[in-house]
Amino acid sequence: MSTPNQNPPIIELRVAVTTGDYERLVKFYCAGLGIEPAQIWNNGEGQALILDMGRATLEIFDEPQAQTIDQLEAGQRVSGPIRFALQVPDLKAAMERLLAHGATLVHPPVVTPWGDYNVRLQDPDGMQITLFQLYDNNE
């Protein structure tokens, strides 16, 4: 592990998603999450963009852990080998924006044993997405 004073071995994590309906997925993530592209390019042969999604981490689960998380968030094992988990400042507002832009509700919000407020959605291409925020008992 590196300390804050050392150069980290990884500078940035990027997840690349390929879709058959580029415009639909761009609208879903940009309008649905309320973010603007950090970079856009069109090389004449294809299109791409980068969305700054904040701090990135990579979680690696074994099947029993994936089963546990899916059971908590969705009531059953439903996600594939990759699922986005996005921390948002206002879970209800983010969920409503994504639903308005084509998300499918997989399971209503739940409070997790580790103190987060989570909701499971699916993007228009079928990617499972967990939105989470720190749980506040006063909500």
Alpha helix (H) residue ranges in the chain: 22-33, 63-74, 91-100
Q: Whole-angstrom Cα distance, residue 52 to residue 39?
A: 9
pLDDT in tens, 1-55: 445 657 888 888 889 999 999 999 999 999 999 999 999 998 888 999 999 999 9
pLDDT in tens, 64-120: 999 999 999 999 999 999 999 999 999 999 999 999 999 999 999 999 999 999 999
**If one looks up domain 22-134 in CATH, what number appears?**
3.10.180.10
Q: Whole-angstrom Cα distance, residue 8 to residue 103?
A: 35
Handedness of CA 27, 31, 32, 38 (dihedral sign): positive
Token couple for 19: 């879709």
pLDDT in tens, 56-73: 998 999 999 999 999 999
Long-range contact list for 52-61, CB < 8 A, 24+ apart?
53/86, 54/87, 56/12, 56/13, 56/14, 56/15, 57/13, 58/13, 59/85
Q: Where are the domains of the chain?
A: 22-134
